[in-house]
Amino acid sequence: MYKFYWVMLALLLFWAVAMPTGNQAEGYGWGYKKNSNHQPPEVGKYDTILEDNGGYYLDKSGEKVIYLTFDNGYEQGYTDKILDVLKKKDVPAAFFVTGHYVDSSPELVKRMVDEGHIVGNHSYHHPDFTKLSKKKMKEELDKLQSAVAKISDQKTMQYVRPPKGTFTEQSIKWANELGYIHMFWSLAFVDWNTNSQKGWQSAYQQVIDQVHPGAVILLHTVSEDNAEALEYMIDDMRKQGYTFKSLDDLVMKDLLPRPFYQL
Give the active site residues.
Answer: 71, 220
The 10 Å Cβ neighbour count of residue 245 is 18
The sign one gets for the Cα dihedral 157, 163, 165, 168 is negative
Cα–Cα distance for residue pair 253/31, rounded to 1 Å:
24
Q: What residues contact 36, with CB distance under 8 A and at least 6 apart?
A: none
Backbone φ and ψ of 210, nearest 5°:
-100, -10
Distances (CA, A) of 32 to 78, 184, 208: 28, 11, 18
Contact at 8 Å (CB) between 237 and 66? Answer: yes
Tell me how far apart the alpha carbons of residues 92 and 123 are, in angstroms, rounded to a whole number.
22
